[in-house]
Amino acid sequence: MPTSPRSDGRNPARRTPVIGITAGELVATYGLWKERCSLVPADYVHAVTRTGGVPVVLAAAEGAAEAVIERIDGLMLTGGVDVDPARFGAVAHPETHRPDPVRDRFELDLLEAATARGLPVLAICRGIQVVNVWRGGTLHQHLPDVGADPDHLGQPGAYGSHRVRVDPASRLGAIVQRAELEVPTHHHQAVDRLGEGLRGCGWSDDGLVEALEDPSLPHLVAVQWHPEMGNDPVLFENLVAAAVPTGVT
């Protein structure tokens, strides 16, 4: 007899977890064409496939978050343009990117739906900022203005590198099994005031929050750096393992 779908929309007969990876809408040039495209760097996709998941790229679509969450087993929020400062009650800084309101709304709705259903979430770079804003937190809009180390941004078009101190008692600490990490990074914004229910679990040497989690949720890990550009797959392994539907081996 065919297996009935679970009430939360995740099919227990599917043995390989499907990971939704959010994309941005940007102007791309290829061949003779220049047009708006839904884009995600391939390193995110490869990080999922290498750790046993099936990647699905999620183009931002108004009102589609609930339907999307019914069809995936785990969610990855990726890097991209800055979150609209209006979402955390701020006026845009001159260095803040032009916002993408459709992507902002889509990712906030995805977070709401994913956490309500107990799906695991890994949020990266812009993703940690989306998580913090989702919970009512605020962001530093331009790190040079707050005296942050220039290593956060690196060189134009390249990743920098800096140290992150990890709380060994946190969920992140249990995942990485190290008190310090050297991480690839490229960002000019960062978490300022923490959102409700979130706790910092990783910090750079200049005191910026580099990782967040919500202890009340089964699996929400958010990092400011770019693990997909590093050599340690542990965060992706953990996401894929947590996304295996209950009862599936």
Catalytic residues: 125, 226, 228
Helix (H) or strand (E) holding 202: strand 199-204
Alpha-carbon distance of 56 to 75, in angstroms, equals 10
Which residue bears the tokens 């001159």? 94
> What's the rounded Cα separation, in Å, for the pair 80 and 98?
11
Task: Check: CB of residue 183 under 8 Å from CB of residue 230.
Answer: yes
- For residues 50 and 40, what is the distance between their CA atoms, to the nearest angstrom? 17
Pairwise CA distance, residues 21 & 141, whole Å: 24
